[in-house]
A and B are shown apart, each in its own frame.
Chain A
Amino acid sequence: MTLRFVSGSMRGRLVIQLALIAALLSLVLFLVVRTVAERAAADTQDNILLASATSISDALYTERGAVRLELPYSALSMLGSISEDRVFYRVAVGGETLTGYDDLPLPVSNDANQFDTYRYKGETVRAVALKRNFSTGNHSRDVTIVVAQTRLGLAAISSRITNTAMAIGVIFFLLATGLSLWAAQSALAPLTRMAGAVTRRGPSDLRPVVGKTPAELAPLVEALNSFILRLKASLNRSEDFIAEAAHRVRTPLATVRTQAEVVHRSLNQSQNKTALREMIRAIDESSRSAGQLLDHAMVNFRTDQFETAQLDLVELVKETTDRLSPTAGLKDIGINVAHDIPEFPFSGDAILLQNALRNILDNAIKYSPADSIITVNMTSDPEYQIAVIDQGRGFQGGDAQSYLNRFSRGENVDDVVGSGLGLTIVQEVAVAHFGRVEIQNNQTGSGACVSFILPRG
């Protein structure tokens, strides 16, 4: 679902930020692990180099005033245990090489033992230089022992460490990202819950949102609740307004109409009578239009806050026809109701449905000739269908279905008072109940047939 007003996602933003932090931390972790591990490896090499040099120095001895050395095999073999690295050594007495590589550099300073890294024979070597003062009877000699080793093994270890550190970094990153996804989800869960609670509400449910919400959401809930209250007040106002408007319009009209009737009765001149008659018809027309406009507004209002209840359509139809039978009786019109099953259980707004039926029947009575019958035929298969059939003039001109539009009337109705809103109201009520209206002329003989069709079950 894509919503027009969506700009970015809070969850997305949260996840991306957390992932970036995780990436940074992973990098730091990687660097730290690698540095520490490489240092440890280098220290190990240094320690072995020192131990080797020390063991060589331990093997020095003096013979007839000269320094001698019996190179211990173990001194070099301990270096070989690390890797296949090449080992160089040099033992110099006072600058003269006693044994080993002549060109292996001797340290410049006089510290007891010093480590150094430099290029030698085309390779980088790590070297330790050990200085010993050797006494040969009457004078002492400075002995320097240098042991150097190439760093190939260390480089291999370093690359292994780098790989491991990288793996640790990646695993950490993935773990942290997964956790941040979960954290974003759970942080936004109250918001999702609230949206769900508001969405699930019925259209007429204007109660404020209650229930515990996190402090961060409280302002939103508060704003929502105050909006709901304002909406409710505005809806109530419009209902009151419709009622008030009806009162204001209808009471003076009632006065005028009644007085006109009284005057009409007392007049004798047919010319004046005709004029007054026209006036009364005009009053009827305007009051009917006003009434239907208000009814239309009320129907819209009610369909907006649709309230359903279980009802029986047969009972509803009978109530409505009973209510209208005095009006029909004035023209000696009978209303017959027939239904194929005893009850038509339906869930809907009784007031709206009754209003729709009243409009259909009003029309039928208006257009029926005196001494005729209006038949209300109710069938239940496959849908509920309430067909109101009259013996009037039927629909004439244009597409019959177009009478359902606002202010649209037939071409043959100039002599009958009407607003063109009746069938529109009927249509709106049907649609609100997921039904429809079908209008046509009777197949047999004259008259119109308006069918109000509602879904069953």
Chain B
Amino acid sequence: MRFLLVEDNAQLAKAVSDRFALDGHAVDHAADLGDAQAFIETTDYELILLDIMLPDGDGRDFLRRHRTSEKRTPVIVMTARSQVSDRVSLLDLGADDYVTKPFDFSELEARCRAVLRRQGGVAHNKIEFAGVILDSLEGTLNTQIGAETLRNRELRLIEIFFAAPGQIFAKSHLMDRLFSFAEDVSENAIEVYVARLRKKLSGTDAKIETVRGLGYRLVDQS
């Protein structure tokens, strides 16, 4: 996905861009409202991440202008202010959602996904592998046999495999991607989700293979 990040704090912007890059998203960074305006006029973004307190104005003004223009790009506001005080004005101004700093990236991603799903109409992110089509926005797996609905963690796990078929992923890596830092789970927990995916992929050419001592990888059996 292609994001526009409007954030005046350079360190935070760098960290957020790096973090999104890890998940394969492209991020353009605008340090103020002027830059942001220039960016959205030249490029189409799937999502805008907007800070509220900016050097050349209030992010809410940008939001208001953006909503009156033709563009329908969803906006998620990143606010540092109290959730109690800001909620109403932000959503009233047309923000699709908001996160409070500091944010959990998996949560932010989940929110982006939810916003994009609600938005509809945009080109879906569909990945095909071995005749299986993964619709990551709808959370469905379309095979020759039929459609399977994926739960949240199943979806996030299969996305990792579909993004890099054949690559071996260590259990610990998958753990990091699937579980939040707040959760204390053993590495065996990942086996439960792999087992579920295998069940949903059964009957297709796509298979999640165990590589003894190393981890798992996605292979085409045909």
Distance between Cα atoms of A205 and B16 in the complex (Å): 44
Choose among B80, B107, B176 the residue that contacts A327 (Cβ–Cβ < 8 A): B107
Q: Decide if A302 is an interface residue (CB 8 Å cutoff).
A: yes
For chain B, residues 1 to 57, give those with C-beta under 8 angstroms from any C-beta of chain A: 9, 11-12, 15-16, 18-19, 22, 53
Choose among A258, A323, A350 the residue that contacts B16 (Cβ–Cβ < 8 A): A258
B-contact bits for A249-279, CB 8 A (1 contact / 0 none): 1110111111101101100001001000100
Q: Decide if A330 is an interface residue (CB 8 Å cutoff).
A: yes
Q: Decide if B182 is an interface residue (CB 8 Å cutoff).
A: yes
Contact present for B19 and A258 (CB under 8 Å): yes
Number of A-B contacts (CB under 8 A): 123
Q: Decide if B153 is an interface residue (CB 8 Å cutoff).
A: yes
Main secondary structure of the interface of A (DSSP, over half): helix
Contact present for A298 and B181 (CB under 8 Å): no
Nearest-neighbour CB distance to chain B for A134, whole angstroms, equals 121
Choose among B11, B12, B85, B100 the residue that contacts A242 (Cβ–Cβ < 8 A): B85
* Given A281-B181, A330-B107: A298 touches B80 (CB 8 Å cut-off): no
* Chain A residue with the shortest CB-CB distance to B88: A351
Contact present for A254 and B84 (CB under 8 Å): no
Contact present for A295 and B182 (CB under 8 Å): no
* Chain B residue with the shortest CB-CB distance to A239: B85
For chain B, residues 172 to 195, give those with C-beta under 8 angstroms from any C-beta of chain A: 172, 176, 180-184
Choose among B81, B84, B103, B183 the residue that contacts A355 (Cβ–Cβ < 8 A): B84
Contact present for A258 and B152 (CB under 8 Å): no
Q: Decide if B87 is an interface residue (CB 8 Å cutoff).
A: yes
Q: Decide if B110 is an interface residue (CB 8 Å cutoff).
A: yes
A-contact bits for B92-111, CB 8 A (1 contact / 0 none): 00000100111111110011
Contact present for A326 and B19 (CB under 8 Å): no
Q: Decide if A181 is an interface residue (CB 8 Å cutoff).
A: no
Chain A residues closer than 8 Å to B149, beta-carbon distance: none
Chain A residues closer than 8 Å to B16, beta-carbon distance: 258
Task: Count chain B CB atoms within 10 A of each CB in A256, A258, A259, A302 and give the residue with the most.
Answer: A258
* Given A258-B19, A265-B22, A291-B100: A298 touches B9 (CB 8 Å cut-off): no
Choose among B18, B53, B102, B113 the residue that contacts A247 (Cβ–Cβ < 8 A): B53
10 A-B contacts (beta carbon < 8 Å) = A247-B80, A254-B103, A257-B102, A284-B104, A327-B107, A330-B107, A330-B110, A331-B152, A351-B88, A355-B83
Contacts A254-B12, A298-B85 aside, 16 further interface pairs with beta carbons under 8 A come to A246-B82, A250-B102, A257-B103, A258-B18, A261-B19, A261-B105, A262-B19, A264-B176, A281-B181, A284-B182, A295-B83, A326-B114, A329-B114, A329-B152, A330-B153, A331-B180
Q: Lowest 10 A-B CB distances belong to which pairs?
A: A254-B102, A258-B15, A326-B110, A254-B101, A250-B80, A298-B84, A250-B101, A247-B80, A329-B152, A257-B102
